[in-house]
Structure 1
Amino acid sequence: MNTYIKTALAILLFLLLFVVRSASSNLFYDPLMEYFKNDYLYKNIDQLDVWRLMLHMLYRYVLNSVITLGLIWVLFERKDYLKFSAFFLMIAFVLLMVIFMILIRDNFEGGYLLPFYIRRFIIHPLFLLISLPAFYYQKLSNR
């Protein structure tokens, strides 16, 4: 792939991640956003539509994952990196969602930090920030 096209696509995909983040309050149902911004230390969680929340978290995760996989492909152009990332993202989502559902069912009685950070991993492309340096290091060490 031409270097200019590769650079333009990478920038476009990174910008798409910013667009998803900036438009998230309009696109996705997430009452926990307000809960964690305000008095989460002093009040109980409001009534949630749990299934709607889970569905919107799935939408957001899939959207971020597709952009993440696109970035990995544009930057490295390796099927093995893409397959590993897709499998990892799928397994991570299932595990994180199960834990998050259990924590919601318990109304965060064990504390708010664990659900806060699990939610962060689900709704933000943090795995991209972890995998890009790892794949880059792998690419350098295989030379």
Structure 2
Amino acid sequence: MNYRKYVLLGFLFGLLVLIRFFENELFYDPYLAFFQNDYLYIDSPRRELAKLTWFASLRYMMNTVISLAIIYVFFKDKSMVKFSVLIYSVSFVVLMGLFLYFVINPRQEDYYIFFNIRRFIIQPLLLLLLLPAFYYHKNGGQSYKMMN
């Protein structure tokens, strides 16, 4: 049974890697090249707002669905998945609001914070925060109580 679990987790993490690897082919994002250059000293790239918003949302949703599957396979706990859906939903609203603000109002002094907000949208960073938190909640809290 554990073997199947690890193969499935490997497959799901592989999907996340493929999304990242093929990001230029799959998604419209003029900020990919922008942030690879010396972005603190150049003007914001030209962009199509609706198209950029759609592809950023699509990428967030793809990463979210795969991340939720990873959380479920790892813990087999539907309550953790439900809580994660809430976290991902609230995060999407907040992050997309901030993302759109920085896209519509580009200022060089805001590029660094925009870079980091965009990173949370296009990469599965919430998964990296939730997995250890849930692991600690499920296992670590018990061993901490036993130590005291």
State the TM bucket, normalised to the shorter chain: over 0.9
CA contact (8 A) 1:69 1:82 kept: yes
- The aligned residue for residue 16 of structure 1 is 15
- The aligned residue for residue 63 of structure 1 is 62
CA contact (8 A) 2:40 2:108 kept: no
Q: How does 1:78-93 map to 2 (within 5 A)?
A: 78-93=77-92
CA contact (8 A) 1:17 1:64 kept: yes
Q: Secondary structure at the match of 2:43?
A: coil
- The aligned residue for residue 122 of structure 1 is 121
- The aligned residue for residue 37 of structure 1 is 36
Q: Which amino acid aligns with 1:96?
A: L
| Total equivalences in the alignment | 142
Q: Which runs of 5+ in 2 are unaligned?
A: 144-148
Deviation per residue, 1:22-44 (Å, 9 max, x gap):
01110000000111111312221
Find the aligned partners of 2:108 and 2:135 in 1 and give their Cα distance. Answer: 40
Matched, 1:73 2:72: yes
Q: Which amino acid aligns with 2:113?
A: L
What is the RMSD computed on CA atoms of the aligned residues?
1.2
Runs of 4+ aligned structure 1 residues displaced above 2 Å come to 108-111
Q: Which amino acid aligns with 1:105?
A: I
1:51 Cα deviation (Å)?
Answer: 1.0
Find the aligned partners of 2:126 and 2:23 in 1 and give their Cα distance. Answer: 18
1:111 Cα deviation (Å)?
Answer: 2.2
Percent identical: 40
TM-score of the superposition, structure 1-length normalised? 0.95
CA contact (8 A) 1:108 1:115 kept: no
TM-score of the superposition, structure 2-length normalised? 0.92
Q: Which has the higher helix share?
A: 2
Q: Which amino acid aligns with 1:31?
A: P
CA contact (8 A) 2:63 2:123 kept: yes
